[in-house]
Structure 1
Amino acid sequence: MANMAAGFAPVSEHDRIGLLDALRAFALLGIFLVNIEWFTRPWQEFGNGVASGLAGIDHAAAWGVHVFVAGKFWILFSLLFGIGFAVMMARAEKAGRPFRALYLRRTAALLVIGIAHALLLWAGDILHTYALAALLLLALRDLRPRTQLVLGLSIYYGLCLLALLGAAVAGLVPGAAEEGAARAFSADPGATAEAARAYAEGGFARVSGQRAADFARFLLNDFFVVPMALGVFLVGSWLLRSGRIGDVAAQRPFFRRLAGFGLPLGLGLSLWAASIGVGLDAAGNDARWLLANALMSLGALPLALGYLALVALAWSTDAGARALGLLAPAGRMALSHYLLQSLVGSLVFYGYGLALWGRIGHAGLLLLAAVVFALQVATSRWWLARFRFGPVEWLWRWATYGRRP
């Protein structure tokens, strides 16, 4: 094990692709802008779009996040996961070292981190979903890059089309949605109010119990999200293996086309979804609720690819690379910062912390997220000037390579 790890170790700072670190930081900000709302909103309302009863700047803030950010940045992070997978595989092949055992240990460690995150900090964990999808990705690693692209898009949009079909059936057949996806994720008002009280007023034990219940309830969502993440992983793997990410300057025409296609398509679908779904909930408007969520999923991937293309184009210029380089250290510690954001959210909003649940408007939530992220960027530079890895990245690599970094 020691010999294998010595030949195939964590990537050095010199060998890192700086653009990927900047993209991870950008994705980290977007994820927190979405997640912070769900530290002060019960999970029983998940999927219902903009919260009801908002007005003025709070409604504008919530609407902006719903259209431009929600559902897009976990897709962007998934693209980066697929790129990282391809990087790890390529380095293993170059070093002539076994890949499967290392990757399985890395994935198992991520699964453990994700479950602990869900039970101890925040029920909306995405890491366990990534770990499950990563196991499926391993089985497809030998496909040619173009085959990975076609399969990834087919999986993703096949699921979107199934969601659209569900919306059509719900609209055409009276009562068809009573046992459908919308009904499965809806909850009665009493359960929603009780969950809100548990988070707002409860001590650590009560909040943890509610977290576990919410996490278990939304594990059903993995039947849809895991294959969707796998599809995006495959697209990300293609981006690296096709040479698009490795030499951004040479690929500027590709990224211009990607931005020109992905941004208007993704934004148009997101606006269409918002025009249908704002103010709806699964319990009362099944067909329109399903249609709105299907349209959001349809638009999420092209808009995320458009964002990636914009960042890549900016990175290909000297001024853009310097500006984005300020964010890159946070991207090198993305896992640590993702968990830290959950720790901050739980301590600020839950009953065992400052108990500010429901006391900060949506505009204030976005401001808080921006301040926390700015502090994370600043502390990342300080940390990485002294240590090679973020603290959780250090533990993750120890579990992966079998020796302490």
Structure 2
Amino acid sequence: MTEAAPLAPVAARQRLHALDVLRGIALLGIALMNVEYFGRPLADVGNGVDPSQTGLDHALSWLIYVFVQGKFWILFSLLFGMGFAVMGARTQAAGGGFTRLYVRRSLGLLVIGLVHALAIWAGDILVTYAIGALLLLLFRDASPRRQGQWGALLYGAPVLGLLMMAAVMLALQSSGLSSGDHVDLAQEAREQAARAAEIAAYSDGTWWQATVVRARYLLTHIPEMLVFECFAVGIFLIGAWLLRSGAIAQPSDHAALYRRLRHLALPVGVVLALLSAAVTVHLDWKEQGARAMLAMALMLAASPLLSLGYLALVVAALQTAFGARLLAPLAPLGRMALSNYLLQSLVGTWLFYGHGLGLWGSVPRRWQVAGVVAVFVLQVLLSRIWLAHFRHGPVEWLWRAWTYRQVPPMRAR
């Protein structure tokens, strides 16, 4: 009987090229969304497009809100779920030991996320991913089809609930049974104070003052983070189903699935996103709570459909010679996605925060977008140069050393 190979980080030649390309694309979408909140309070997340913007700045914000915001974290989450499935398959082939290894990997990600959230930027998503990764263990033994069904339920049920709640609120308002949205003055005062503290600490404060505000933000938003876990775990499971079904490794064998994603899911997602934007892109939760909830629920329904459509378009492009050549430079970026994600936060906070260049609130949206594109191109080039000399990104190397309890080779052969 052949002895199972010991578990170790995946070699470059064993990686799925499509996943690395998709991670690189997801990084661009995430940066386009995050850059606004390097120079705007995180208290405004969930309020939609800044109503003070006009002209080109408003148009860019509208396009990013409708077609990017909320779509690329989902794409990244699909890929995270695929990574869960890949690790499960590899540990099974190696003779077991998945749970212990996976828990250690998730705890390592949790530490990285906490450092990011506390020391760099409060808009971190890695802590949410790490907790969601542990919750994925509850579904480890489910079949691929069952994982996909659970994923659709975990994401879709809350969205349906929000749609129903918005419909009830609108019906009550139209019938005159509800006089409008009631404002809790004490809660509003607390929110305004927290927003003012963010602005003061990030725009003019020291690194330590910003860290104190980041820690407060993390603690006060734990309930929202736990609610968000339902959506995240749902998307993780859909990603695991896609990987385990063979649709990623053998796309030509699943041509019908990809046609449905391109010709059905993507157009329906566009229609729902445009409907949401038609309701409102300025989510005023105090004065127009019912409309804001309806717009948010429609956008939540649109986002996974758009993300899956984007994924299908990229996979289709990779099946062509031209598309493969065009997208190939993104693969090194995706191979070290964690390092590049953290680097985006470091650059963004250094540019905008008071303990850096202090550009908070002074950069128009058009220059934010231009800056993201410039930094992204630089990251593509630097990632290629780095991986020509090293096997892993620096943070990936540390994470893998912790996960496998051995120091992986760093220098490229």
Spell out, residue by residue over 1:282-304, the C-alpha distance to the aligned partner (whole angstroms, 9 max, x if none). Answer: 22221111111111111110000
Structure 2 unmatched ranges of 5 or more:
409-413
Indicate conservation of the 8 Å contact 1:92/1:98, yes or no. yes
Query: How far is 1:186 from its partner?
Result: 9.6
Query: How far is 1:169 from its partner?
Result: 4.1
CA distance in 2, matches of 1:176, 1:135: 41
Structure 1 unmatched ranges of 5 or more:
none
Is 1:138 the counterpart of 2:141 in the alignment?
Answer: no
Residue 259 of structure 2: which of 230, 234, 256 is its match?
A: 256
Indicate conservation of the 8 Å contact 2:181/2:287, yes or no. no
Give the SS at the match of 2:14.
Answer: coil
1:56 aligns with 55
Indicate conservation of the 8 Å contact 1:8/1:97, yes or no. no
CA distance in 1, matches of 2:211, 2:169: 35
1:344 aligns with 347
CA distance in 2, matches of 1:194, 1:140: 41
CA distance in 2, matches of 1:186, 1:161: 31
Spell out, residue by residue over 1:300-352, the C-alpha distance to the aligned partner (whole angstroms, 9 max, x if none). Answer: 10000000000000011111111111110000000000000000011000000
Spell out, residue by residue over 1:122-149, the C-alpha distance to the aligned partner (whole angstroms, 9 max, x if none). Answer: 1111111111111111121110111111
Q: Which segment is superposed worse, 108-117 or 285-294?
A: 285-294
The AA in structure 2 aligned to 1:232 is I
The number of residue pairs the alignment matches comes to: 400
2:280 aligns with 277
Residue 403 of structure 1: which of 380, 403, 406 is its match?
A: 406
The AA in structure 1 aligned to 2:40 is R
2:411 aligns with none
Aligned CA distance change for structure 1 residues 8 and 214 (closer, same or farther; 3 Å): same
2:367 aligns with 364
2:12 aligns with 13
Spell out, residue by residue over 1:69-92, the C-alpha distance to the aligned partner (whole angstroms, 9 max, x if none). Answer: 000000000000011111111111
Is 1:304 the counterpart of 2:307 in the alignment?
Answer: yes
Identity of aligned residues (%): 48
Indicate conservation of the 8 Å contact 1:44/1:187, yes or no. no
Is 1:212 the counterpart of 2:198 in the alignment?
Answer: no
1:26 aligns with 25
Give the SS at the match of 1:7.
Answer: coil
Query: How far is 1:361 from its partner?
Result: 0.6
2:80 aligns with 81
Is 1:354 the counterpart of 2:353 in the alignment?
Answer: no
Q: Which segment is superposed worse, 284-293 or 117-126?
A: 284-293
Is 1:174 the counterpart of 2:192 in the alignment?
Answer: no
CA distance in 1, matches of 2:181, 2:6: 55
Is 1:71 the counterpart of 2:70 in the alignment?
Answer: yes
Residue 228 of structure 2: which of 210, 225, 230 is its match?
A: 225
CA distance in 2, matches of 1:404, 1:179: 55
CA distance in 1, matches of 2:69, 2:189: 19
Indicate conservation of the 8 Å contact 2:181/2:288, yes or no. no
The AA in structure 2 aligned to 1:157 is G
1:124 aligns with 123
The two structures have a TM-score, normalised by structure 1, of: 0.94
Query: How far is 1:253 from its partner?
Result: 3.4
Aligned CA distance change for structure 1 residues 175 and 17 (closer, same or farther; 3 Å): farther
Query: How far is 1:185 from its partner?
Result: 9.4
The AA in structure 2 aligned to 1:280 is L
Superposed, 1:319-338 pairs within 5 Å as 319-338=322-341
The AA in structure 1 aligned to 2:336 is M
1:291 aligns with 294
The two structures have a TM-score, normalised by structure 2, of: 0.92
1:192 aligns with 195
Aligned CA distance change for structure 1 residues 404 and 110 (closer, same or farther; 3 Å): same
Query: How far is 1:165 from its partner?
Result: 2.9
Aligned CA distance change for structure 1 residues 135 and 185 (closer, same or farther; 3 Å): farther
Query: How far is 1:279 from its partner?
Result: 2.3
1:384 aligns with 387
Aligned CA distance change for structure 1 residues 226 and 276 (closer, same or farther; 3 Å): same
CA distance in 1, matches of 2:187, 2:277: 22
Indicate conservation of the 8 Å contact 2:31/2:344, yes or no. yes
Indicate conservation of the 8 Å contact 1:186/1:283, yes or no. no
Query: How far is 1:188 from its partner?
Result: 4.3
CA distance in 1, matches of 2:240, 2:66: 27
Indicate conservation of the 8 Å contact 2:183/2:286, yes or no. no
Is 1:247 the counterpart of 2:246 in the alignment?
Answer: no
Spell out, residue by residue over 1:139-177, the C-alpha distance to the aligned partner (whole angstroms, 9 max, x if none). Answer: 211101111111110111001112223323443263796
Aligned CA distance change for structure 1 residues 57 and 247 (closer, same or farther; 3 Å): same
Indicate conservation of the 8 Å contact 2:116/2:124, yes or no. yes
Indicate conservation of the 8 Å contact 1:44/1:186, yes or no. no
Query: How far is 1:184 from its partner?
Result: 7.8
| RMSD between superposed Cα atoms in Å | 2.0
